[in-house]
Structures are given as C-alpha cells and as structure tokens.
Amino acid sequence: MAIRDGVRSSFVIYVALFLLGCQDSVKGHFLSTSKPDRHDAAASARWLVSQNSWGVLNTLSSDLGGTPFGNVVSFSDGPYDKGTGIPYFYLTTLDPTARNALKDQRSSFTISEYPLGTCGKRDPMNPACAKITLTGKLKELEENSKEAELARNALFTKHPEMKGWPKKHNFQFFELEIEDIFLINWFGGPKALTVEQYLHHRKDKSNSIQWMPY
Amino acid sequence: MAIRDGVRSSFVIYVALFLLGCQDSVKGHFLSTSKPDRHDAAASARWLVSQNSWGVLNTLSSDLGGTPFGNVVSFSDGPYDKGTGIPYFYLTTLDPTARNALKDQRSSFTISEYPLGTCGKRDPMNPACAKITLTGKLKELEENSKEAELARNALFTKHPEMKGWPKKHNFQFFELEIEDIFLINWFGGPKALTVEQYLHHRKDKSNSIQWMPY
C-alpha cells in the first residue's frame, strides 16, 4: 500500500506539472484570464489580443509591387489584464514591414487562438478556434511622446528581451490605428463588432467561462 | 527503498509523458524531422513549411479598398516528411480571403517557428526563432484536376477534420504559386534563397541537428 500511495501522490504531482508545463511551453506565461463567453464579441476580441504575444502584421510591399506582405512580429496591447486593445509594435526599417508602413500605412494584424492551447483538438481553421484581424493604419509614434511611452511599457512588460535589442538597429514604436475588425469565434460567419465596442469594452462587465483544456 | 523505486519509476514515466504531451498540445503531432542546420536556408525553409499546419494568408481586401488582409488558415504542403514545399489551402468564398484572391491573386503566406515549440525561451520576434513569408499568386485549382487531387491528399492527411466540412459551403482547393521567399532563421537579415533552390531541395542532402527543447 505504501508503494501505491507513493506512486499515486507522484502521479498527482506530475499530472499537475504536465498541465502547468504545457501551457507554459505554448505561450511563456499562464493564461491570466479565463476565456470569455463566445456570445460577447468585444470580450472575445479583447481576450484574444491581450493573451497573445505575437501575430502576423501585414503591409503592402514596396519591394514587390504592392503585394500584401505578412511578417511575424511580437506585439503588446498593455500588461496582461491591463490591455487597451490597441496593438503596439517595436519595428526597425532593417525589416520590410516598417519600410512598407512608412510609404503606405494601410495594414492589418492577425492573431489566432490556436497557439494559446485553448482550441482543444479542433483544427486551427475550425471557426470555434477564434481568429481576429484588425485592419487600419500602421503609424510610427513620435519619439518621447506619451504614446511612445505607453507603447514602451506595454511592449517591454510582455517582451523583456526587447530591452536588449541592438540600439544601432534603430527600433521605433508603432501603433495600429484600428478601423475595422474581423472576428470569428464560432460558426455562422464573422461577429458584428464595431471599433468603438471593442475599444470601450470593460472587462468587469463580461461573463467568462472557465478555461478547460479539452 | 521499494517506495523510492516506485516513485522514481513513475517519475520517469510522467516526465516522458510531460515532454511528449507538451509537443502534442502545441501542434497536434510530434515533430517528424529534426531541425535543420541554420546555414542550410532551403532545408530550414522546407522544414518550417512541412512541420507547421497553419499560418496567415494575406490578400488584398476588395471590401476594404485594397488594404492587406491577413487571415488565419490551415494548410499543407503534403504529408509529413513528404512535402513538396507548395502550400495548399481549402477555402470558401464565404470567407473574404478566397473572394479577394479571385479578384486579385497577389498574396503572401506567413509561418512562424514559434508555435512548434522549438524556439526555447526566445521571443517570437528574435531572429533565431525562424519565420518565413512566401509571396506569389493564390490560385484556385481546377476541380478534379491532378493538382486538386494532390491538394486534397496533402490537406486531408494533415487536417482530417476538413473531410467533414459542410459541402454547401463549397470549399475549393487553392495553391500558392511562389514567386519570392523571405526567410529569417538567424541574426544578420533575410537569407538568400531562390524559389528554385527552395522547390528543388532534397531532404536527404541536408545536414540536420537534433532538436532540443531549450
């Protein structure tokens, strides 16, 4: 019985480690907020943006004749649970995305729920595995402005590695000024969601459901 | 000693489960090939494309005045370890991406190494965490053609859920005809890699290094 007890208690410990460790391996931190009720489009959109740390930023390629050019970037809309909904970026003109945006600000930013690990066994393209595309203008923030300070705090909190990125690469802060939102978080097509509803969403008014891995 | 042995053996089992399970939660299958030597650009690019199951497909939005519109999609370049390097998609015109492509084929497809779980503790935007953008033309494949059959096999092998997607949504097979490759898999800017080098890469000629979680 002593052996069985030992095995059983170690089982509990390692299953707990397994569940915790998997989340950590997926996104580098524990989900800080449970997944919102899918009927609340604003809450779902804000949750997706606040819980993710990277996405694909799309601009019009000046090198490739105006072809849409997606690029993997890190972003932040604020510290976890204190997000504003506005995605901030730290970009260098050594990379095409910043160069493109300085010539034509039209842009979109795309995020998937899939890498959060909360889609269970669903395919990444299953409508119940949420995805969002924020469309608008990608704007460089004026150095030492209040907005640049907000962006710095938002980004360096979620991406501490950025603090050490080479000064000579001349990274600058950018913001996506959102004009349109494309959100799918269930079957039945995109959810109706205005930019105002998204930006003015207050988390304390949302219903949320407990996150379950499957 | 018997208790200690029991605990020790269960520790080994659960740590093994932990490591296996984490990979499974990230991408739904085990990495089938070890990560290639970073100096081999073609091998790195083909590895990224063959090991991933989803990415962001960018088109020019006909609804939003030509803004680049990124959309989360599932894709496949063939069964694991038998990929062709060509990304195939299963799209419906109920979604804007297919509608956009039918009006203007200019497109790009972006994939990150980050969700594979092989970037260790690096930030998703760290150049050593690889990313690729394939730029070209997004083309609908003729129904019942040889290419459509290739696409079907490639997609339905990696995404079995697709077989059950609603017939009335009229999903069709699409292919990205690649014209340009933007690959970053280390410091020092994008790697020089032609479409020909990428498509004609032979895996048996590559050096690969053993994948390590950190």
Q: How far apart are CA A199 and CA A205, in angstroms?
A: 14
- pLDDT above 70 coverage of chain B, percent: 80
| Residue B4 predicted with pLDDT over 70 | no
How close A183 comes to chain B (CA, Å)? 10
B 123-182 → A contacts, CB under 8 A: 123-126, 131, 133, 135, 159, 161-162, 180, 182
Q: 3-class secondary structure for A96-143?
A: HHHHHHHHCCEEEEEEECHHHCCCCCCCCCCCCCCEEEEEEEEEECCC
- Chain A residue whose CA is closest to B15: A14
Query: How many A×B Cβ pairs under 8 Å?
Result: 195
Mean pLDDT of B66-73: 98
Q: How far apart are CA B70 and CA B109, in angstroms?
A: 9
Q: Is B70 left (phi over 0), alpha (psi -120 to 50) or beta?
A: beta
A32 at interface of B, judged by CB pairs closer than 8 A: no
Model confidence at B34, in pLDDT bands (50, 70, 90)?
confident
Per-residue pLDDT of B40-59, as tens digits, reads: 999 999 999 999 999 999 99
How close B201 comes to chain A (CA, Å)? 24
Task: Name the residue facing A108 among B53, B67, B161 (closest C-beta).
Answer: B67
pLDDT digit of tens for each residue in chain A (214 aa)?
A: 444 555 455 544 444 444 443 443 334 455 767 899 999 999 999 999 999 999 999 999 999 999 999 999 999 999 877 899 999 999 999 999 999 999 999 999 999 999 999 999 999 999 999 999 999 999 999 999 999 999 999 999 999 999 999 999 999 999 999 999 999 999 999 999 999 999 999 876 555 544 433 2
pLDDT for A188 equals 95
How much is the mean pLDDT over chain B?
86
Lowest mean pLDDT: which of B82-86, B97-101, B112-116, B199-203? Answer: B199-203
A18 at interface of B, judged by CB pairs closer than 8 A: yes
| Residue B75 predicted with pLDDT over 60 | yes
pLDDT for A12 equals 46
A64 at interface of B, judged by CB pairs closer than 8 A: yes
Higher pLDDT, A200 or B6: A200
| Residue B170 predicted with pLDDT over 90 | yes
pLDDT for B16 equals 45
Sign of the Cα pseudo-torsion (A125, A183, B110, B112, in order): negative
CB contact under 8 A, A69 and B108: yes
Burial class (CB in 10 A: 0-12, 13-18, 19+), A214: exposed
How close B110 comes to chain A (CA, Å)? 6
Model confidence at B182, in pLDDT bands (50, 70, 90)?
very high
| Residue B1 predicted with pLDDT over 80 | no
What's the DSSP call for residue B141? Answer: P
B51 at interface of A, judged by CB pairs closer than 8 A: no
Which secondary structure element, helix H or strand E, spans residue A173, and what is its range? Answer: strand A172-184
| Residue B9 predicted with pLDDT over 70 | no
One-character DSSP codes across B45-85: HHHHHHH--EEEEEEE-TTTTT-EEEEEEE-BSSSTT---S
Model confidence at B14, in pLDDT bands (50, 70, 90)?
very low
pLDDT for B30 equals 57
> Which residues of chain B neighbour A4 with C-beta distances below 8 Å?
6
CB contact under 8 A, A115 and B117: no
B114 at interface of A, judged by CB pairs closer than 8 A: yes
> Which residues of chain B neighbour A11 with C-beta distances below 8 Å?
10, 14
| pTM listed for this prediction | 0.85
Written out in words, the top-level CATH class of the domain with range B36-207 is: mainly beta
Higher pLDDT, B213 or B139: B139
Q: Is B89 left (phi over 0), alpha (psi -120 to 50) or beta?
A: beta
Per-residue pLDDT of B127-147, as tens digits, reads: 999 999 999 999 999 999 999
| Residue B189 predicted with pLDDT over 70 | yes
**Site of tokens 């105006």:** A66
| Residue B80 predicted with pLDDT over 90 | no
| Residue B6 predicted with pLDDT over 70 | no
Task: Name the residue facing A68 among B4, B94, B107 (closest C-beta).
Answer: B107
CB contact under 8 A, B109 and A189: no
Lowest mean pLDDT: which of A65-79, B49-63, B89-103, B198-212? Answer: B198-212
Sign of the Cα pseudo-torsion (B28, B33, B38, B40, in order): negative
A11 at interface of B, judged by CB pairs closer than 8 A: yes
| Residue B109 predicted with pLDDT over 90 | yes
Q: How far apart are CA A5 and CA A17, in angstroms?
A: 18
Task: Name the residue facing A74 among B53, B64, B125 (closest C-beta).
Answer: B125
Q: Where are chain B's structural domains?
A: 36-207
A17 at interface of B, judged by CB pairs closer than 8 A: yes
Higher pLDDT, B93 or A6: B93
